[in-house]
Amino acid sequence: MSKLPLKNVKGEQVGDYEVADNLLVLDRGDHTVHEAIVAYNANQRLGTASTLRKWEVNGSGKKPWKQKGLGRARAGYKQSNVWRGGHVAHGPQPRSYNKSLTKKAARLAFQRAFSAKVDQGEVTVIDQLNVATPKTKEFAAVLMNLGLDRGALIVVDQTSDNLLLASRNIQRVEVATAQLVNTYQILRYKNVIITKAGMEALEKRLG
């Protein structure tokens, strides 16, 4: 069993939270984590960059000037890519950057990333996180009590409007649910704070 510190919103340790060793993976999955991060970043790209090709540029097919006798370079059409207003040679076109990852690989990557955080002592469990009002000041006080001056990922069982509104103006802080948090989010932040209810939901996902 691995023990995680269990604290309250005042930053006081009220016990330990035990995580079963069979939920943690420390001996494999490093390359799968890399593939998951690459796939996540690739899937964020819209792939909408687009430039005009030769037949898409307005203009006639008339030769700008005759081939010989003028001392100029040869020119065949005004849509040439070397002319201003012409087409773009080998320019980007709309495409999909999506990369797929099997469910088994995605689960292994998430397990490996979370296990690394647990092994490095960067995961803290809090008994509950209830924000009464959508005030940034109230949420910032909780972060200060927990000593989170470098930002953190907050994982909860279910989000509330007050929690989302109170946390959105604080830099380097992100709130996610245990069902939707991904490998990239786990590794992006040094500190991961999970509510007790969120941890129970996360264990079901890991198991």
**Average of per-residue pLDDT values in the chain:** 93
Q: Quick one: pLDDT at residue 132? A: 86
Asked whether residue 163 is domain-assigned, the answer is yes
Asked whether residue 117 is domain-assigned, the answer is yes
Range of the domain at 136: 2-25+99-206
- pLDDT by residue (tens digit) across 117-161? 999 999 999 998 988 889 999 899 999 999 887 789 999 999 989
For the chain, what is the domain count?
1
pLDDT at 165 over 90: yes
Residue 189's CATH number: 3.40.1370.10
Q: Quick one: pLDDT at residue 201? A: 93
Confidence of residue 207 (pLDDT cuts 50, 70, 90): confident
Asked whether residue 73 is domain-assigned, the answer is no
Asked whether residue 175 is domain-assigned, the answer is yes
- pLDDT by residue (tens digit) across 2-41? 889 999 988 899 999 999 988 999 999 999 999 999 999 9
Asked whether residue 170 is domain-assigned, the answer is yes
Asked whether residue 147 is domain-assigned, the answer is yes
pTM summary value? 0.84
pLDDT at 114 over 90: yes
For every residue of the chain, which 3-state class applies, written as one string?
A: CEEEEEECCCCCEEEEEEECHHHCCCCCCHHHHHHHHHHHHHHCCCCCCCCCCHHHCCCCCCCCCCCCCCCCCCCCCCCCCCCCCCCCCCCCCCCCCCCCCCHHHHHHHHHHHHHHHHHCCCEEEECCCCCCCCCHHHHHHHHHHCCCCCCEEEEECCCCHHHHHHHCCCCCEEEEECCCCCHHHHHHCCCEEEEHHHHHHHHHHHC
Asked whether residue 119 is domain-assigned, the answer is yes
* Average pLDDT for 177-189: 95
